[in-house]
Every structure is written in C-alpha cells, then in structure tokens.
Amino acid sequence: MAQKPSIPKGTRDFNPQDVAKRNYIFSTIKQQFELFGFQPIETPSFENSSTLMGKYGEEGDRLIFKILNSGDYLKKVDENLYASKDASKLTSKISEKALRYDLTVPFARFVVQHQNDIDFPFKRYQIQPVWRADRPQKGRFREFYQCDADVVGSDSLWQEVEFVQLYDAVFTKLGLSGVTIKINNRKILSGIAEVIGAKDKLIDFTVALDKLDKIGEENVKAEMLEKGIPQSGIDKLQPLFSLSGDFGSQVTELKTILKASEEGTLGIEELEFINTGIEALGLNTAQLQLDVTLARGLNYYTGAIFEVAAPEGVAMGSIGGGGRYDDLTGIFGLKDMSGVGISFGLDRIALVLEELNLYPETVSDSVKVLFINFGEQEALASMKAIKELRANGVRAELFPDKKNTKKQFNYANKRNIPFVVLLGDSELQSNTYTLKHMSSGEQSQVDLNGLISAVQ
Amino acid sequence: MAQKPSIPKGTRDFNPQDVAKRNYIFSTIKQQFELFGFQPIETPSFENSSTLMGKYGEEGDRLIFKILNSGDYLKKVDENLYASKDASKLTSKISEKALRYDLTVPFARFVVQHQNDIDFPFKRYQIQPVWRADRPQKGRFREFYQCDADVVGSDSLWQEVEFVQLYDAVFTKLGLSGVTIKINNRKILSGIAEVIGAKDKLIDFTVALDKLDKIGEENVKAEMLEKGIPQSGIDKLQPLFSLSGDFGSQVTELKTILKASEEGTLGIEELEFINTGIEALGLNTAQLQLDVTLARGLNYYTGAIFEVAAPEGVAMGSIGGGGRYDDLTGIFGLKDMSGVGISFGLDRIALVLEELNLYPETVSDSVKVLFINFGEQEALASMKAIKELRANGVRAELFPDKKNTKKQFNYANKRNIPFVVLLGDSELQSNTYTLKHMSSGEQSQVDLNGLISAVQ
C-alpha cells in the first residue's frame, strides 16, 4: 500500500539549490582550512557507545542516538534485568553503538588510536554531520553538520593567533564583513573568581557573568549573591562591568583587578600575546574584542575562549566558537596533549548569508545549455554538439523527449537554464545552431565553434 | 578511567591521505555529473522505519540499522508483547527510525514528497554514506558511500545513451582506460524465458544464467533442469552460449532466438537504439558490450541493465551498475514515473586506482611551505610572509614551537612539505628569506616576491 512519505522530525531534505548553497560555504571554509595547513580526516558515523557515553554530561548521554544491536538482541539479556522493564538499564544491553554527537570526542579517539602514525603537531579539519535527539526548533536540528579545525600537540599561542586570522579569512571570503571575534581566557575567569573569594564557585560565577548581556548588571549581581558569593567579592567586580576603551586599555584595567592572582595574570599575558600578534598582522574585515563574560564550555577549555558574533544588526546567536583545551585526549589515556580548535556554525552562517543576500548569483547555476528535442535525427546531432560542449567544460543537456517546443522552453525557464539551442531540419542542413539567450530573448545563428564560445 | 579506543567493526577512520584520494574520486565524478546536467540532492541519514522496511526483502530488513527511540522507550510497550521477549516483535515498538540502507529508496521518497516542487524530468545525483549490518569482510563495510545518478520522469532511451557516455567520461577522467560497460535488457531476459517455456521461472532462469562466468555452461544447464526448466527449452538456449562477434552480429543472432516474443523483440529494439547512439557518438576509453547473462537486481529493473567491469587483468567485481526501472516511486504512491540510473562503486574504484597507481602524484599534497620557528620576533615576521603566501593561494604554515631546527626539518620531511623557509636574525636584517627546496636540498636567498613566485 502506498505510504504518505515524510521524514523524521528535526531532519531535512536538501534540494539542488540548498546543496549548492551549502557546498559554497563548505568549499569556502575548506579552501581556507587548507591554506592554513589543516588536513581533512573523517571518522565513522557511529562509534562504540563506550567511546561516547559519559563524555557530554547526563543531558548529553540522553541526547545521543543509540543504535539497536542486530539480530536477536534480547537473547543474552539477563532475565531479571529484562523483567524490571527499565529502559535506562536495558539500553546498554541491547545497544552497543551510537551516532556521533559531535566531532570533538571522535577526534580525540582518533588521535589516541592513531597516535603512532600521526606527526605532531597535528592540524586536522573535519566537516561531517552529527546527530542529537534534541527537541527540534527553529534553527535546531537532529541532524546537522559540524565544521571543526583543531591543532593538537602544541601549546604555542601562535595557534590562537592563527585561528583568529582563520576566522577573519573565512568570513571575509564569504563576504560577511564586520563579524566580531570575541576572546576570553579561562585563566582570567579563574583569576577573577580567586580574587573575589569565589574560587570554589567558579561555575556559578561564570554562569551568572555569562548572562550580563541578557539580564543586566543588577540581576547578575543578585544571582551571584544568591549563589553564595560574598557581597565584598561582588563589589570588587565593579570595574569589570565598566571595562571600556580599546583592547589595550581594557587589558590594563583587568591587570589591576587581577594582580593578586598568578593564574589570572598568566591569562592576561596570553591574551596580550594574541592581541599583539593580531595587531601586527592585521585583520581584513573582522574585529577582535575582549569579552570577559564569555565562558562557553568552561569545563572543557583551559586557555583562550573564542566566540564569533554576526555583524551588528543581524539577530543571530554565535556563528562560531572554540578555545584551548589541555586534556582532550586524556579521556582515552593520552596525557599532556594540548589542543586548540574552532568551529563554524554552518546552519547559522547559511541563514546570515541568506538574510544579507550574500550568496554569489551563480551559486546554484546548473545546466547552461538545453537542446530542444525535435526527434531522433536532430537529437543525435544535438548529442554530438553536447559532447563537444561538455568537453569544453560547459554543462549541457538534451531535452530527453520530443514534446511540443513550448513545454521544452518552459522546462528551460523553470530550471533557469540561460541558453537554449534549436537544432531542427534547416539547421541540420546548414550545419548551424540557432542559439537563444533566454533572458534577452535574442537569437543568433552560429556554428559549433561559435556556439561553444558564445556560451562559455 | 582511560579506555583503549577502537571503532565498531566494519567502519573506518580516514586519515588525510585517504580523504584526499576519496575526494579526488568524488570530485571527478561530481564534475562529470554536473557537465551532464545532474544536480545534487541530500536526504537525512535516518528515515522513518516505515519508509525503509519491506523495500529490500527479508534479508534487507534484517540488515537495516535501527535507531532506538529516545527517552523511556519501554513505557508504551504492551505488557504481553514485552513479556514474550521476542526481539522481532519488540523492534517496531522501540525503534521508529532507521539508517539509510541505500540512496534509491530515499530518492523515491524524496521525489514523491516534493513532486510539486520538482521540474520533471528530474536529473539528480547523490553522494552520501549508507549503512548495512552486513558481516564485514574484505572490501565490504558497514558504512560506505554510494554515488548515484538518476533521471526520473522520462522514458526516453537517450538517457541510457547518456549514462553509457557518463560512465565513459568518468572512467576516462580517472585515467582508468579499458573498462567494459556491459549492457542487457530485462525485456530480453523475459523474452528468452518466454521462448523456452519458462516464463513463470524467470527468476530461477536468470539466476542460473547469471552464473555462466563462474560455473560454466554445463552447470548452468544442470541448474536450470533442476529448477524445472524443460530440456527442450534449454536446448533452445544453445545459441545464447555461443553468441559471438561484435555487438551488431550478436544482436542479429538474438533477434532470431527472440522473434516469437514481442517483449523480447522490444528489448532488442531498445538495445539497438542505445548501441546505434553510442556508435555514432563514440566512446573515449570504454567499450560497450552486450551481455545477455547480466541480471543484477532483476525484480527492480524493467528495461536496460548496466554493469561496469574493471579493465582486463584487474581482479575486481563490478565497479558500477544500474538500469531502468518503471515504478520506483509507486511504493510511495506516485505511479507512472519511469526512471533510469547508475551508480559508481567508490570503494572498489579506489582499490583499482591504488592497484594501477592511477592517483595523480599531487593528490595528497598538503602544506607547500613550512617556516622554521626561531623565536618570537622571527615568528611574527614569518607570519606576515605566510599571510602573503596564503593570499596568493599558497598553503603555508609556521612550525608553532621554537624547537631545535632538526626536529622542525624532520616534521617537514615526514609531512612531505616541499619547501622550508628559514627566517632568522640575518634574514630579518636583510629582509630576505632563505628558501630550501627539500627534495633537491638546494637553498636560495629570496625576497618576498621571489619567495611567492618560487613556490607557486
């Protein structure tokens, strides 16, 4: 019986125009990744569950898609466990594989597994889909691409400088001028927490501080107080709320606040190194901005923290982010492997390019020349010309059926095919082609060479 | 606790060289697809189980990877059903989604679902991974890419001509000369079955005939006899076993055998149309060969059947295949939508290119220039030059840490980086660069422009 076809919620079909636009973004990013010396790797879509589970917190574990074992997967399940009908206990018995939840953990697994074949520092990029059983909503999908570049095996701060430049290069190439690359440092956040007497409340502190943009200064302070951060400490934060001026003067103010903290001071030195490098090298269209409220995946990052905001006036969350982590591969037994990486938020970048109308006009061009089908003999002659066009790099095709000409022209119109060739009886005899330029309506009589050069 | 990392059996990690080689094949195929007027679509990695189940036979259903429902997936399972502990019954209750098994069924689903937005004939290509819970073995994986091009909405035989040309174009571009494109027609097989009085035994007949290469004429005949095909019918087959000469003379012999069958005669006419077209248009490096034993997915195909064999001397199964199907979209309720398509066997093509050493030498080139790191000032000057190189399309990077020079050179060697730049104290003062060509060992002193042009 016929089914009404649909796809699972949170997933998408991409038609040719969608794919063309997405490929445009991917290839722009890939080109810059490669200019910067990154090389692609790919990992399997599913990993052993033990590789993924426990790496993303409880919430993450829940959101990982699990794959049912093949065959009679109940056979070996213990009777008592089965009788309890407890899904949380049953899962690990009937499912040993799970879909990739991000690219970071598989990358760590890859590095550890192949460490003897890798020449460190290892600069890899990876553009692959990931899957999350999240509640779907606008801009949030259950299947989406991640697009990451990381370096592992070097703690040089030049990498951070490189990543700021890389963000600038990609967004410049995409025509997206005016993005803000926000930077912070985990050590600065730790230092501030230390200085205000909230070292043991680092998470509460940064979670509250992270909300400054959304809920304002007074509410942030109230939340901190509620979480048990002393009023005296909160008072010391005051200069943070009024950091102003350029990068340099903000850093100077921060230095004053953090002079009592060794870790905080180290964080500032790192920040200064990166900023000095960027000032010397220059950015094309992006700007680098200090944002001491930036926390992101704090538990994860140990040094620099990055986040990219779309140009002012575009209502969109972050379109990229990343940072330095000192122990990514530790979970798989390889210690002391510092890494730093960034990612690009493909779906949001696509929305921004759409909103600002930044896709090149030619992005979803498909076929350039359609030959009208007048019947068998004409079609064969058309196919010969089409073969020549293709050999010259021109996308060309024959309308496959001898339908009435109007229908064939309609097809060309709908598909935005710019040129139509009529090769009928008279053209066959004169060995010429009637070439119609669809947008202008102009027609001309050309020979094969004329045809090739006219459409190229 | 640290885990020993591994990946699920039948899956693969791809390192940068692997990815580069695979991308070389993909991009060669994509380029030809697009020259031939095909456009890319992408469908979700998982579909509703109802979309996939029952479409690939019982064996296929077993090999489909099922995804466990999220949350408390046991809650709504009927007590009695649960108590039976019957995996085959439980599956549909706890799993509503499944990983794509091929690209064909999702494509049919796509066409039906989006039929109002599609301009027919619709020429699409799709290059995406599929998953099968097959027993892994040499060359057979649980995750692998399929690479398909199809046209739906036209029964013109010019499509078949196009696909033969497309195979020829792709394999020629890949440098793989001498492939054989075998062609047959479902109608010819039906016609033969009719003529020998085995119309109701078409499957048994073709399964036996398909084995001719492997088990030889006598065994094929024995199998047919065993399956209940009468000896008198088998005797009529004799000319089939000794078809010889070129395409044209084989067709002539076939015509004699099939003259009593309307369907068989129609199959021959189709074959002749395609062959005449190909003879008029010519092939670059492939040859078209009639193979009346070719059956492939017979239940599926209704007209032409294709299969591509690697060049003689390369022990490899088929590296591509396809055919015409008249009712692909019928399973989703859209009737009378004839289609024809082909696929490329990526993994096998990769093995053949490897065996014949056909990858371009430059295929896995990564970074072209490495700057040695002599310390902070030198590194900053290096980064400025690197920025210029990248702006000129040259992949360049700085060794991130100031390690001893020998180690840095080792890194360049291991990564096959062809050029190394030394920018030390004296170079800084003279505003020059010492450029070392790694394979020849030659060194030269150049300025920035000299550097750019030397490495480009």
Please check whether residue B165 touches A, CB under 8 A: yes
Which chain B residue has its CA at the smallest distance from A159's CA? B400
CB contacts under 8 A, B 265-304 vs A, are 277, 280-281
Please check whether residue B82 touches A, CB under 8 A: yes
| B140-B144-B146 Cα angle (round to 5) | 115
3-class secondary-structure state, position B124: strand
Instruction: Encode pLDDT of B355-401 as tens digits.
Output: 999 999 989 888 999 999 999 999 999 999 999 999 999 999 999 99
Please check whether residue A379 touches B, CB under 8 A: yes
Cross-chain residue pair B3–A332, CB shorter than 8 Å: yes
Give the range among A39-43, B20-24, B159-163, B252-256 with minimum mean pLDDT. Answer: B252-256
Q: Is the pLDDT of residue A6 over 80?
A: yes
Q: Is the pLDDT of residue A158 over 70?
A: yes
Cross-chain residue pair B379–A71, CB shorter than 8 Å: no
What mean pLDDT comes out for the span A66-88? 95
Q: How confident is the model at residue A57 (pLDDT cuts 50, 70, 90)?
A: confident
At position B82, the amino acid (one-letter code) is Y
Whether the Cβ atoms of residue B420 and residue B370 lie closer than 8 Å to each other: yes
Whether the Cβ atoms of residue B373 and residue A267 lie closer than 8 Å to each other: no
**Which residues of chain A does B129 touch, with a Cβ-Cβ cutoff of 8 Å?**
45
Determine whether A27 is exposed, middle or buried from the number of CB atoms within 10 Å of its CB (0-12, 13-18, 19+): exposed
Which chain A residue has its CA at the smallest distance from B333's CA? A2
Q: Which of B41, B154, B165 sits opposite A401 (nearest CB)?
A: B154
d(CA B90, CA B79): 11
CB contacts under 8 A, B 387-416 vs A, are 387, 390, 393-398, 400-401, 411, 414-415
The whole-chain average pLDDT of chain A stands at: 94
Please check whether residue B45 touches A, CB under 8 A: yes
Whether the Cβ atoms of residue B19 and residue A41 lie closer than 8 Å to each other: yes
Determine whether A204 is exposed, middle or buried from the number of CB atoms within 10 Å of its CB (0-12, 13-18, 19+): middle
Structure confidence at residue A1 (pLDDT): 45
d(CA A240, CA A243): 5
Q: Percentage of chain B surpassing pLDDT 70?
A: 99
Sign of torsion over alpha carbons A43, A47, A51, A57: positive
Cross-chain residue pair A70–B133, CB shorter than 8 Å: yes
CB contacts under 8 A, B 322-361 vs A, are 330-333
Nearest to B167 by CA among B156, B157, B178: B178
Residues 6 or more apart whose Cβ sits within 8 Å of residue B252: none
**Which residues of chain A does B380 touch, with a Cβ-Cβ cutoff of 8 Å?**
277, 280-281
3-class secondary-structure state, position B47: strand
The DSSP-derived string for A262-288 is HHHHHHHHHHHHHHHHHHHH--SS-EE
Structure confidence at residue B2 (pLDDT): 53
Q: Which of A13, A112, A131 sits opposite B110 (nearest CB)?
A: A13
Q: Is the pLDDT of residue A170 over 70?
A: yes
Cross-chain residue pair A384–B281, CB shorter than 8 Å: yes
Which chain B residue has its CA at the smallest distance from A141's CA? B44
Cross-chain residue pair A68–B73, CB shorter than 8 Å: no
Å between A370 CA and nearest CA of chain B: 9
- Where is pLDDT greater, at B253 or A149? A149
Strands annotated E in B118-218: 122-131, 143-152, 180-185
- Where is pLDDT greater, at A45 or A210? A45
Whether the Cβ atoms of residue B104 and residue B331 lie closer than 8 Å to each other: no
Q: Which two tokens stand for residue B140?
A: 């057979």
Q: Which of A8, A124, A373 sits opposite B47 (nearest CB)?
A: A8
Determine whether B52 is exposed, middle or buried from the number of CB atoms within 10 Å of its CB (0-12, 13-18, 19+): buried
Q: Is the pLDDT of residue A424 over 90?
A: yes
At position A331, the amino acid (one-letter code) is I
Q: Is the pLDDT of residue B3 over 90?
A: no
CA distance to B204, B234, B236, per residue, from B226 (Å) = 10, 11, 17
Residues 6 or more apart whose Cβ sits within 8 Å of residue B137: none
Give the H or E element holding residue A342.
strand A339-344
Instruction: Encode pLDDT of A389-421 as tens digits.
Output: 999 999 999 999 999 999 999 999 999 999 999
Q: How confident is the model at residue A2 (pLDDT cuts 50, 70, 90)?
A: low
Cross-chain residue pair A387–B68, CB shorter than 8 Å: no
Å between B425 CA and nearest CA of chain A: 19
Cross-chain residue pair A154–B65, CB shorter than 8 Å: no
**Which residues of chain B does A154 touch, with a Cβ-Cβ cutoff of 8 Å?**
400-401
Nearest to A66 by CA among B10, B86, B8: B8
Å between B5 CA and nearest CA of chain A: 6
Please check whether residue A161 touches B, CB under 8 A: yes
- What are the backbone angles phi and psi of residue B223, rounded to the nearest 5°? -65, -40
- Where is pLDDT greater, at A126 or B201? A126
Q: Is the pLDDT of residue A3 over 80?
A: no
Sign of torsion over alpha carbons B191, B196, B201, B206: negative
Q: Is the pLDDT of residue A367 over 70?
A: yes
Cross-chain residue pair B73–A82, CB shorter than 8 Å: no
How many CB atoms within 10 Å of residue A438? 15
Q: Which two tokens stand for residue A52?
A: 């993924």
Beta partners for A126? A148
Q: Is the pLDDT of residue B1 over 60?
A: no
Structure confidence at residue B295 (pLDDT): 86
Nearest to B306 by CA among B290, B317, B288, B322: B322
Cross-chain residue pair A390–B277, CB shorter than 8 Å: no
HSE, CB side, 13 Å, CA atoms: give it for residue B52: 31
Could you tell me the strand order of the sheet in which B443-446 lies? B396-398, B369-371, B419-422, B433-437, B443-446
Instruction: Encode pLDDT of B316-358 as tens digits.
Output: 889 999 999 988 899 899 999 999 999 999 999 999 999 999 9
What mean pLDDT comes out for the span B288-313? 90
Q: How confident is the model at residue B241 (pLDDT cuts 50, 70, 90)?
A: confident
DSSP label of A42: B
Number of Cβ pairs closer than 8 Å across A and B? 287
Q: Is the pLDDT of residue B115 over 90?
A: yes
Q: Which two tokens stand for residue A425?
A: 């009886």
Please check whether residue B40 touches A, CB under 8 A: yes
Residue B357 φ/ψ region, left for φ over 0, alpha for ψ in the -120 to 50 degree band, beta for the rest: left
Q: How confident is the model at residue B299 (pLDDT cuts 50, 70, 90)?
A: confident
| B223-B229-B233 Cα angle (round to 5) | 115
Instruction: Encode pLDDT of A290-324 as tens digits.
Output: 999 998 766 789 999 999 999 998 988 899 999 99
Show the DSSP H helices in A282-404 as ranges: 346-355, 376-391
The whole-chain average pLDDT of chain B stands at: 94
Nearest to B107 by CA among B163, B146, B54: B146
**Which residues of chain A does B400 touch, with a Cβ-Cβ cutoff of 8 Å?**
121, 151, 154, 156, 158-159
Q: Which of B123, B280, B397 sits opposite A36 (nearest CB)?
A: B397
Please check whether residue A383 touches B, CB under 8 A: yes
Nearest to B291 by CA among B395, B380, B387, B212: B212
Cross-chain residue pair A143–B45, CB shorter than 8 Å: yes
Q: Which two tokens stand for residue B304?
A: 């032409």
For an interface test with B, give the residue of A7, A49, A167 to mutate (most B CBs within 10 A). A7
